[in-house]
Structure 1
C-alpha cells in the first residue's frame, strides 16, 4: 500500500511538474497571443502590422531592417503601418502620417520625415511646420493642410487609436501578425529575430488557413 501511495504521489508530482514547465514555456514565448483577435483590414490575406512613431529612435533604427523585408513579402501577405498615438507629439506625428497616407504620398516621403525628426532634430509637431517641410519634398502645401484637418483623416485617427487599444500595445515598434500575435524587438531578441518570428507566424497562419480550407 505504501508503495502504491508513493507511486501515486510521484505521478502527481510529475504531472504537476510538467504543467508547471508548460506554463513556464508559455511565459517565455517571444510573442503574446491576443485573447480577442482583431479583424484584418484585407480579408483573405495574412496581415502584418507595424505600430511605430516618427519620434522613436528604435523605430528609426528598425527602418533599414524592415523595409527590405517588406519589399520581399509574398502576395498573400498584406503589410500595414499604423502610427501609435499616445498624445502630444505622438498624435501630431500620427496625424501627419495619416494625412500623407490619405494623399497617397506617404511612401514617397516616409524616409525623409523620419530623417528630419531623428537626424535633423526637427519637431514637426505644428501642421504649418509640417507643411513647410513637406513642401521641400514635393508635397503640395495647401493640399496637405486641407487634408490634415479633413473628416477622412479624423476618422483614421479614431481607427488607429482603437486598433492600438485592441492590440494592447504599450510601446513601439510593435508588430502584430494576422490580428492574433503581438511582439516587439525586445521580446523577439533583436530586429532580425523579430522578422524571423514574423515569418514563422505568417507560415503558421498560412498552414492554418490551408488546413481549414481542406
Structure 2
C-alpha cells in the first residue's frame, strides 16, 4: 500500500479527537518566516484547482476540519501559479473572482471537475484536463453552469483588488517556498508538514495549536 493511500485511509476513518503527542518543530511543522506573526490567528491553504489531492482536501477533509478549528481563526485560501502561463494565471484569477463575488463555495467544486478528469490508466487516477478549459470564456462557462451570473466577471477580474490579491499570492508562494499542494501556512510563519500527519484529529489540533503561536 502506498504512503498516499495509507494516509488517505487514515484521514478518512480517524476520529476528530485531541492528539496527545507533542508537536515538534522540524517534524510536524517548519518555521518559514522570521517576520512577525499575523495579529489575528490565520490559516491559509495554498492549493491548485488542477490538483487532485487538493480536490480531495476540499471535498472530503475540509468539511471535517473546519468545524474543529477555534472560532477566532481566519481560514483563507490562495491559488499557486508555478507555470505562470496564460491559462494557469486565468485559473488562479478565477479563484480570486469567486472570492470577490462570494461564490467560492458554489464554484470551486465545478472548477475542480472541469480541470481534473479521470485517467484511463486506472480507477481513481487523475490528470489535468487540458482540453476543456483553455481560456477565460471556458472558465466563465463553468461559472454559468454553476448558476453564477458572469456579466461582471471581466470587470472584477481586472479590478485593483483582485490584481492585488493575485500578486499577494504569488509573493507568498515565493516567500513561504510553496513546493507542493495543498500546503497550510499558519500565522504567516509556520508551514504544516503534511507528511507527518496521521489523522484528521492530529491535523486539526496542530492547526489550533500553531494558531496560538507568535
CA contact (8 A) 1:54 1:93 kept: yes
Instruction: Give yes or no for the alignment of 1:48 onto 2:57.
Output: no
After TM superposition, the score normalised by the length of structure 1 is 0.72
Q: Secondary structure at the match of 1:182?
A: strand
Q: Which of 172, 180, 202 lines up with 1:196 in the alignment? A: 202
Q: Distance in 2 between matches of 1:106 and 1:61?
A: 16
Q: Rg larger in 1 or in 2?
A: 1
**Map of 1:74 onto structure 2:** 70
CA contact (8 A) 1:47 1:80 kept: yes
CA contact (8 A) 1:172 1:184 kept: no
CA contact (8 A) 1:84 1:90 kept: no
State the Cα distance separating 1:57 from its structure 2 match: 1.2
Structure 1: runs of 5 or more not aligned: 1-24, 210-214
CA contact (8 A) 2:46 2:79 kept: yes
State the Cα distance separating 1:201 from its structure 2 match: 4.6
Per-residue Cα deviation, 1:155-175 (whole angstroms, up to 9, x for no partner) = 111111111122121121111
State the Cα distance separating 1:101 from its structure 2 match: 0.8
Aligned length: 177
Q: Distance in 2 between matches of 1:197 and 1:117?
A: 27
State the Cα distance separating 1:147 from its structure 2 match: 1.4
State the Cα distance separating 1:141 from its structure 2 match: 2.0
Q: Secondary structure at the match of 1:142?
A: coil
Q: Which of 159, 163, 166 lines up with 1:157 in the alignment? A: 166
Q: Which of 34, 37, 44 lines up with 1:36 in the alignment? A: 34
CA contact (8 A) 2:51 2:181 kept: yes
Aligned-residue CA RMSD (Å): 2.5
**Map of 1:18 onto structure 2:** none
Relative to its length, the structure with more helix (as a share) is 1
Q: Secondary structure at the match of 2:151?
A: helix
After TM superposition, the score normalised by the length of structure 2 is 0.72
